Amino acid sequence: MYLPEYKKRVADKELLELLESSGAVLIEGAKWCGKTSTGLNAASSVIYMQNEDNAGMYKQMASTKPSLLLEGETPRLIDEWQDAPVLWNAVRFAVDQRQKTNQFILTGSAVPKDDDKRHSGTGRIARLRMRPMSLWESNESSGKISLQQLFDNEPDVAETSEMTLEMLAFALCRGGWPASIQKTGKVALRTARNYVDEVVELDVHRLDGIERNAQRVRKLMQSLARNVSTMASNETVMADVTANDTTLSPTTFASYMNALRRIFVVDDVDAWLPSLRSRTAIRTSPKRHFVDPSIPAVLLRLTPEGLLKDFKTFGFLFEDLCARDLRVYAQAIDGDVYHYRDKNELECDLIISRRNGQWAGVEVKLGKNEEDDAAANLLKLASKIDETKMQKPSFLMILTGGQFAYRRPDGVYVVPIGCLKP
């Protein structure tokens, strides 16, 4: 379907590839991140399950004869399919019957609760994860340095980013929400505030009909924001929340956390478990992250001007932004993002691991002062890898908020986030 103002997304190519190989594709991710527009850009027909004019009728049709909702030109987009979960099995059955690829696109901003009657969809319905826009998608990164080329060992990294710290602080607080990208000033910042308010007041309750205390949801999210880009345990986060809410039980805490995951608000980075030369205990706890750095910025009541006066907090939120962008870029080249930390406190902020066995270590540093320590960490980690069992790193990189990209004498790349693309 022709969308005249559609801004191209990194996920566009992956969606078309998945449609060529599968009967249906589920695009999932946080609401407002652009799933529907991306689906529409590839679809030939659409049905909006949350259209208030027809929602009641659609749900009734879904409960009596769901196949009627699947009729239309293909690929047919079913937007927010989880409002009628029976459609999952109906799509799966239709794919089996038609024996064709490129039939359906489903979008969903929440993971429905488990249902024994719902089949897995394996082999029929492929999954595509979307996140808010990266800096390259919003045209703020120049894209002069390609992640793929770094892995191919053919980079020309003598480049300059046009993003200043002031621009970076604004982009972080605004976030990658498509609705805010073309706006400026306080209006652009408002989308992230509206998003957090909707999550707190509506989304965690609408998810499964379970009543959750809005004030408690906000307190929990604020605690996660204070611990963003750290390995803070559930116990640490819960203790922070219960300092002012002694009635919060571990069961309730787990329920609230699960709800935030199911609507794709929290987006923790899992631990990387490589093969090492010597036995070293690797910490397996995930690292706390949000799907977009504007969320913790809102929760901590930070403005772009405030960030520039608090470089410590700016650094933590900058890592959250880098995690978002690297996940978007890595996914486009068949990779995932992890973090590493062992019992000796050797750590690496982010690890890009590809299915072909290639990997790269990334340290995130907002400024230049910690560059030498970051490079030493990366080189030490590389030296610990057992290269008889896995590949040596394709590259080691310090991802910065600076303006100049170059290769250090020790071989470590220094790359501004404002230069990077998939």
> If pLDDT is split at 50, 70 and 90, which confidence band does 116 have?
very low
384 located within any domain = yes
Contact 293, 316 (CB under 8 A): no
Task: Kindly report the pTM of this predicted structure.
Answer: 0.94
Please write the tens of the pLDDT for every residue from 157-174.
899 999 999 999 999 999
280 CB burial (10 A radius; 0-12, 13-18, 19+): exposed
Domain count for the chain: 2
Opening angle at CA 285, ends 283 and 289, nearest 5: 130
pLDDT given at position 357: 96
Residues 292, 408, single domain; the answer is yes
- Could you report the per-residue pLDDT of 56-80, keeping only the tens digit for each? 887 888 888 889 989 999 999 999 9
**Average pLDDT for 350-374:** 95
Which stretch of DSSP H or E encloses residue 294?
A: helix 294-299
Are residue 124 and residue 246 in the same domain, yes or no?
Answer: no
Instruction: Using the predicted structure, report yes or no on whether residue 2 has a pLDDT greater than 70.
Output: no
Give the separation between CA 250 and CA 256, rounded to whole angstroms: 10
The range of the structural domain enclosing residue 326 comes to: 145-421
Quick one: pLDDT at residue 272? 96
Residues 77, 149 share a domain = no
pLDDT at 196 over 70: yes
158 and 102 in one domain?
A: no
Strand partners, 146: 421
DSSP 8-state assignment for residue 54: T
How far apart (Å, rounded) are the C-alpha atoms in residues 94 and 70? Answer: 8
- Which pLDDT score, from 0 to 100, does residue 50 have? 83
**Do residue 156 and residue 293 come from a single domain?**
yes
Residues 39 and 161 in one domain: no
Closest CA to 368 of 170, 167, 165: 165
Share the mean pLDDT of the chain.
92
Q: Is residue 86 domain-shared with residue 172, that is, in the same domain? A: no
What is the tens place of the pLDDT at every residue in 307-335? 999 999 999 999 999 999 999 999 999 99
pLDDT of 345: 87
Specify whether 39 is located in the same domain as 86. Answer: yes
* pLDDT, tens digit, 9 for 90 and up, residues 338-348: 999 999 889 99
CA dist 243 and 340 (Å) reads 30
Say if residue 359 is in the same domain as residue 212. yes
Please report the pLDDT score of residue 372 as a whole number: 95
**Over the stretch 87-99, which tens digit does the pLDDT of each residue have?**
999 999 999 999 9
**pLDDT for the residue numbered 111:** 79
Domain boundary pick from 105, 129, 153: 129
The percentage of residues in the chain with a pLDDT greater than 70, rounded to a whole number, is 97
Record the tokens describing residue 118, joined without a space. Answer: 């719902």
- pLDDT for 119 equals 58
pLDDT tens digits for range 136-151: 999 999 999 999 999 9
Q: What is the mean pLDDT of residues 185-210?
A: 91
**Residue 139 counted as domain residue:** no
What is residue 55's predicted lDDT score, i.e. its pLDDT?
A: 75
Q: Give yes or no for a contact between 402 and 306, defined as CB atoms under 8 angstroms apart.
A: no
Question: Encoding tokens for residue 412?
Answer: 């470590």
Q: In whole angstroms, what is the distance from residue 127 CA to residue 92 CA?
A: 13
Give 230-284 pLDDT, tens digit per residue.
Answer: 999 999 999 998 887 777 889 999 999 999 999 999 999 999 999 988 778 898 9
Residue 209 pLDDT greater than 90, yes or no:
no
Asked whether residue 117 falls in the same domain as residue 54, the answer is yes
Q: Is 84 part of a structural domain of the chain? A: yes
Q: Note whether 190 and 234 are same-domain residues.
A: yes
Residues 189 and 111 in one domain: no
